[in-house]
């Protein structure tokens, strides 16, 4: 079922409107599309704060030469159990790895997990993206298994959950 559009007026300062129009032009969309995106982002932020069921991707870039960092990251993910649904691990160069961790749980708790992992010594970049309009876990999810994909680096891995 398609949600019907509603029209309404918005008042804002001319200077702010000029900045909005610059964003609109750069994206090649309409004011309405940009405003909808902003409102959706605020709705998600409010839902996360209330602990709504969510899924998220946490992207980390880290220096794998930092002593025991890889082991600490892996151990923390194991402690999270079923909240970690899948991971993707990529070697960027001789020193840096990129890891994408797919998480599921309460939005506020996912933010806490992300903050802890992003604050880990050796993690140089990261970002959490959350979606909240997902059904709550039913408790009927199956356990996960580990699939190893080897290549030139001994610590290469792909961990994938099975439905």
Instruction: State the pairing for strand pair 53-63/96-106.
Output: antiparallel
Q: How far is it, in rounded angstroms, from Cα 70 to Cα 54?
A: 26
48 Cβ partners below 8 Å, 6+ apart?
A: 54, 107, 108, 110, 111, 130, 132
Question: Other CB atoms closer than 10 Å to residue 55's CB: what's the count?
Answer: 17
Strand, coil or helix: 13: coil
pLDDT for res 1: 72
- For residues 65-86, give the mean pLDDT: 93
Domain range 53-160, its CATH number among 3.30.1330.20, 3.40.50.2020, 3.30.70.1150, 3.20.190.10: 3.30.70.1150
pLDDT tens for residues 37-60? Answer: 999 999 999 999 999 999 999 999
Strand, coil or helix: 90: strand
Q: Which residue has the higher pLDDT, 96 or 144?
A: 96
- For residues 16-34, give the mean pLDDT: 96
**pTM of the shown model:** 0.74
């Amino acid at each position: 079922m398609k949600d019907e559009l509603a029209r309404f007026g918005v008042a804002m300062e001319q200077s702010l409107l000029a900045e909005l129009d610059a964003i609109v032009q750069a994206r090649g969309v309409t004011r309405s599309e940009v405003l909808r995106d902003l409102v959706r982002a605020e709705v998600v932020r409010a839902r996360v704060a209330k602990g709504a069921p969510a899924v998220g991707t946490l992207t980390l870039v880290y220096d794998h030469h930092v002593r025991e960092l890889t082991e600490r990251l892996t151990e923390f993910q194991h402690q999270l159990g079923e909240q970690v649904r899948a991971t993707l691990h990529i070697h960027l160069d001789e020193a840096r790895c990129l890891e994408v961790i797919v998480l599921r749980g309460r939005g506020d708790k996912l933010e806490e997990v992300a903050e802890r992992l992003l604050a880990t010594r050796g993690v140089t970049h990261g970002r959490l993206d959350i979606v909240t309009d997902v059904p709550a876990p039913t408790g009927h999810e199956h356990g996960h298994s580990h699939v190893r994909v080897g290549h030139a680096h001994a610590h290469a891995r792909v961990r994938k959950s099975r439905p």
